[in-house]
Structure formats: structure tokens, C-alpha cells
Amino acid sequence: MPDVQPGDRAPNGCVLATTLRIYPDAIGRDIGCGFSAIRFDIQQDTISQSILVSILSHLESLVPSLMQPSPLAVEAFPQSCSAEQLSNSALAKQANREGFLQLGTLGRGNHFIELEVDQAGYLWGLVHSGSRSMGQAITDWHLRYTQRAEMDYLELATDNGQAYFSDMQWAMRYATENRLRMLNRLADAVENLLNGSPIESSYIDSPHNFARIENHLGHELIVHRKSVNSARNGEVAIIPGSMVSGSRIVVGKGNPESLCSSSHGAGRTMSRSEAFGKLQVKDFKAIMGSIVYPKEHARRLLDESPTVYRSLSQVMQAQHDLVSTRDTLRTILCYKTS
């Protein structure tokens, strides 16, 4: 994909199709990681900078980075991702411990919650997060049973292959629920401070770390996507850029040459260590301009500076045959944790 960058064992921004084997490293450890978005029934001209600051403060207090404090933790898993659905009691135990406390948490790195405005002036909420430690635990557990090769693999038809595939699907459901809970926290803040409500029909869930059985060119294939959106004909997905470049809501064109896939973002051009060594806080703050973000953590956010990402416009131009842009969104608030 045009946002491709180096990754662990397999590049980020890579789609792979197989007939018999499933490769956990071609999905990634943050199984189900993706974007969720919803539009609100209010427009930007009703939103002051001071209210945006209040919304950011709300998110900082109610959306933790790593673990939920007990008063904020869910009372029970939703039926869609109950721990009993996992293939092994050790994974179920971890789900009932770390997984329980991490449901509704953001994580670090490039994960974010943003408020953005579309071309008609309407407000959108976006969340980027995944399956937290559960995706990693599932991957590490099943890699113990893989066959060794350039990339370790499981035969999908075997018991071990089926167990991984089932647990991967569980992690995808968990990741979706994780994002949805954060969207609900954001919606609470928008409702309380702006008297705005989400439009349920506008909800989009767009994962980009997963595998799925699909038919391509007359063949049933196991399609792996690692930091790659599905872009089937008419399918709606989300492609964000950096902290300042906003996002695109796109519609897939079903291009068979990409296995009906597209980029998931803009892609990094500089490693995190390089960013911390080369970039200056004053330059980062200047680039961010009027966007509301945790300014007190600016130094710790240098590795997420817009400078380290490709131009989203250029990435979109490079995949004009894969997706079309339905909505162009502009960022007005960005919550990230260092």
C-alpha cells in the first residue's frame, strides 16, 4: 500500500493472500486495531476553543491510556467478546484480568481520539485503537504452535489453526467494543458541553489488522491485512493522516489488483527514536497551530509530530484507483497519550 513502512517480520501496509496457511505476523499483534467514527448533529460554528479544552480535559479524566481504575471498569464483558469464547483457559484468565481492565482504554503511540469537522461543517468523533494487550497475548500464545519458516505459520485446517482464527475474531470484536466505549465517552462530553447528539446511522467501524476468508478471482483465499483497510466495492472506511492533516472517509472501488484493499493512513517517514533525536518542541507546537491537544505533553509527543508522516494528499492520490473520497475531515482536537 502507499503508506507502507517497516514492521516486525512483515511490513505495515501489506496485504497477503494464501490458500492454506495463516501467518499471525502478517496480521500483527494488535489484532483488530482500527478506526471508528461517528457524526454529531452539530456544526463547528457552535464550538468555542474553551469548550474544546473542556472536552479534552474530560477525555483525559475518563479515557485512560493503559488500565481502567476499578470505578470506571465495565461490570461484565459484552456477550460479543465474553472470555469463555477464547480457545484456552489461560487466555480466558488474562481476558478476565487485564482484558477486563483495558476495555475502553486508548493505548499509546499513534492511537488517538479526535474531533474533526467535515466539508459541510458537521462535527465527527474518531477513535484509533485496538485489542490492547489481548491481541498480543493471543498472538504470542498461538505462535508457540506455528511451523517455522521465513514467517511462522499455522495450517488453517488444523485444530491449532482454527483455534488461532477463532481467537483472532474474538480480538477483533473486543477491539471494536473498545473503540465504541471510547466513542461513548466522547459523545457524553459532546452532549454535556455542546448539547449535541451522535447520528447512529453515520457510525463507521474500520479495522485494519485482521485476516478473513474472501473470494478473489474465483478462488477462496485467506486474506491477511496488516495496517491495511478492506476496500470492497462500496465499502466505507477511514484513512487518517497526521495530527494536523485530518482524515478521509472513503468508499472502496473493489480493485482486484489490491485484493480489494487500501492504505490505512499516511505512513511514517521517520522512526520514533529519530523523531526524539531530531525534532524540537517549539516546531511541533508551531505546526499544531490552533488544534487542541495535551500541550503539557508536547515533548513526549514528538514521535507523533506531523513532520514524521507522509502527506495524506499524496497517499490518497497514489491510491485513486483503490478508493474514492466521500468526506474530507479537518482536525480541531487530538487526544493522544505518550
Whole-number pLDDT of residue 69: 83
300: closest CA among 54, 62, 109?
109
Q: How far is CA 218 from CA 214, 221, 279, 337, in A?
A: 10, 9, 50, 45
The per-type count for the chain, helices as H runs and strands as E runs, is: 8, 14
54/52 Cα distance (integer angstroms):
5
3-state secondary structure of 254: coil
Residue spans of the domains in the chain: they are: 14-335
Report the residue count for the chain: 338
Neighbours of 76 (CB within 10 A): 10
248/270 Cα distance (integer angstroms):
22
Residues 27/227, Cβ–Cβ less than 8 Å: no
Cell numbers linked to 48: 468555542
Whole-number pLDDT of residue 72: 73
Spell out the per-residue pLDDT of the chain, length 338, in tens.
999 999 888 999 999 999 999 999 999 999 999 999 999 999 988 899 999 999 999 999 999 999 988 777 777 889 999 999 999 999 999 999 999 999 999 999 999 999 999 999 999 999 999 999 999 999 999 999 999 888 999 999 999 999 999 999 999 999 999 999 999 999 999 999 999 999 999 999 999 999 999 999 899 999 999 999 999 999 999 999 999 999 999 999 999 999 999 999 999 999 999 999 999 999 999 999 999 999 999 999 999 999 999 999 999 999 999 999 999 999 999 999 87
Q: Angle, to 10 degrees, between the axis of helix 159-194 and the axis of helix 132-143?
A: 170
Residues 233/260, Cβ–Cβ less than 8 Å: yes
33: closest CA among 166, 184, 146, 134?
134
214/232 Cα distance (integer angstroms):
11
What are the tens digits of pLDDT across the range 281-305?
A: 999 999 999 999 999 999 999 999 9
3-state secondary structure of 21: strand
As a whole number of Å, the CA-based R_g of the chain is 20
Whole-number pLDDT of residue 60: 94
Cell numbers linked to 320: 485513486
Superfamily, domain 14-335: tRNA-splicing ligase RtcB (3.90.1860.10)
Q: Supply the DSSP symbol for 140.
A: H
